[in-house]
Amino acid sequence: MEKEELEKKVVHKEDEIGHLKETEDQNRLLRSQVQLLTLNKSRLETKISSLRQEQEGWHRKFVTEQETAVRAVAIANRVQQSPSTPTTSITNLNNFLPPPPTV
C-alpha cells in the first residue's frame, strides 16, 4: 500500500510540475506581449508628440494669416474712407509750356 501511495504522490507531483511548466510558458508569453505593448506605447507617444507639435505649428500659421487678413481689411477700409487726393487735372496741364517743335 505504501508503494501505491508513493506512486500517487509521484503522479501528483508530475502533474504539479507540468502545470508549473505551462504557467512558466504563459508567463514568458505574457512578458513578451508586455514588452511589445510597451514598445508600441512608446512609439504612439512619440507620434502623438510629433502630431501635437505639427498642430501647434499649423495653428500659429493660421493665427498669423488671420492677423494679416485683419490688417489688410483695416488698411483697405482706411483707404476707402480717406478723402481722395486731387490728381493732376487738365487745367493743371494747361499751365505747362508745350514741347518745342521738332525739326
Tell me: pLDDT of 35 over 90.
Answer: yes
C-alpha distances out from residue 80 to 68, 73, 77, 88, Å: 18, 11, 5, 20
Gap between the Cα atoms of 43 and 49, Å rounded? 10
φ, ψ for residue 9, nearest 5 deg: -65, -40
Gap between the Cα atoms of 23 and 15, Å rounded? 12
pLDDT in tens, 45-66: 999 999 999 999 999 999 999 9
What is the model's pTM? Answer: 0.53
Tell me: pLDDT of 10 over 80.
Answer: yes
Instruction: State the pLDDT at residue 92.
Output: 56
Helical residues (DSSP H) of the chain, grouped into ranges: 2-81, 90-93
> Across the chain, what does the average pLDDT equal?
89
Tell me: pLDDT of 15 over 80.
Answer: yes
